[in-house]
Amino acid sequence: MATDERAWVKDLRPGDEVEEQYAVCSKELRHKRGGGRYLTLQLGDRTGRVTALVWDNVERVSEACTVGGVVRVSGQVQRYNQSLQVVVQRAETVGPELVDESLFLRSSGTDPELLWSQLMAALEEVKDPHLRQLLFRVFSDPELAATFKQVPAGRTMHHAYKAGLLEHTVSMARLGRALASHYSLDQDMVAAGVLLHDLGKVWELEAKVSVDYTDDGRLLGHLPMTVLFIDRQIDQLESFPAETRRQLLHLLLAHHGEYEYGSPRRPKTPEALLVYFLDLLDSRMAGMLEAIAEEPDPEAAWSPYSKILDRFVYRRRPPTGGRKKKEG
């Protein structure tokens, strides 16, 4: 079937009869109030995700649906509580050899090579010789660079698509130098912190037909892996200043901002505080824009529920052009 004949998630409408391949992003067996069990799924392709429910043949369908795999489902699209869902009647596992990964995982709307050139331009602006040497040492590694160009920035929350990490990092870098200058902060420290803050995600996440955590990602997490890696790189550099090392590692440890967000330290330098807020701003804004785009119904006033924002998002935009001038 040609890709333009697919039943893309974004094109699903209430009443549609669907027979299509989708990635299985999550699944959960739940108990019915009156006894028995039902299955809830998150199915997706590169255009979005949709909730799917299985009321009959639950065990058989559950066996066919492996998280991270692709399944061919037959069912009907319905609307429930202002959101679309697919009630699945049948499901069959699709073998890996028959899967076209490009159908299921989104990519950044910007060419990764262009984003990479922008990242390298941000690196070139760093004047501090020690931070500059460290950054070139890290990003000149061909294997790391290749992964950095492809890996998402998150599993579901924000920039959860190929090259999402690169897009997120470049976006923060654009804002970082301007805001560091505005507040008279160390622009090079902020730039280095921005470029390195999520480096560990190259080992934390993997993306095939959906985004999932690696074993290291589940056991260690990107933040500790980033700090351990950067500290090892610094050890290989001669005469790297102890104070620069201390502040950079603190910034990386503190970039989640608060203990409840998984941050081992809260920001205790102005540069660390700025990088935290840059990360928060870019991730939340991306989450809001993605929530608006996720709803497949162009007439819907509200987005699906956004986990990263803990709310629904109002999708209607104000009229453009302002008030018309009176004639005469």
Give residue 182's pLDDT.
97
Give residue 198's pLDDT.
94
Give residue 2's pLDDT.
43
Please give the structure tokens belonging to residue 54.
Answer: 């299985």
148 exposure class (CB count in 10 Å sphere: 0-12, 13-18, 19+): buried
Task: Give domain limits for the chain.
Answer: 3-102, 105-288
Determine the Cα–Cα distance for residues 154 and 204; give it in Å rounded to an integer.
9
Longest CA–CA separation in the chain, Å: 76
CATH hierarchy code of domain 105-288: 1.10.3210
Q: Where are the alpha helices (DSSP H) in 66-186?
A: 112-124, 129-139, 142-148, 164-182
Distance of CA 192 to the CA centre of its chain: 21
- Which residues in the chain come in under a pLDDT of 50? 1-2, 327-328
Determine the Cα–Cα distance for residues 105 and 208; give it in Å rounded to an integer.
7
Q: Which residues contact 192 (CB under 8 A, 6 or more apart)?
A: 126, 128, 131, 134, 135, 248
Give residue 303's pLDDT.
84
> CA triplet 46, 51, 57: central angle to 5 degrees?
115
Q: Residue 155: what are its φ and ψ, rounded to 5°?
A: -80, -45
Say if CB 87 and CB 50 are below 8 A apart.
Answer: no
Give residue 253's pLDDT.
96
Which pLDDT tens digit goes with each residue over 20-30?
Answer: 999 898 889 89
Q: Which residues contact 196 (CB under 8 A, 6 or more apart)?
A: 135, 138, 226, 230, 248, 252
Determine the Cα–Cα distance for residues 235 and 127; give it in Å rounded to an integer.
20
Flag whether the pTM goes above 0.85. no
How many C-beta neighbours within 10 Å does residue 147 have?
A: 16
Say if CB 204 and CB 216 are below 8 A apart.
Answer: yes
Give residue 324's pLDDT.
52
Give residue 1's pLDDT.
40
Report the amino acid identity of residue 188. D
3-102: CATH architecture: Beta Barrel (2.40)
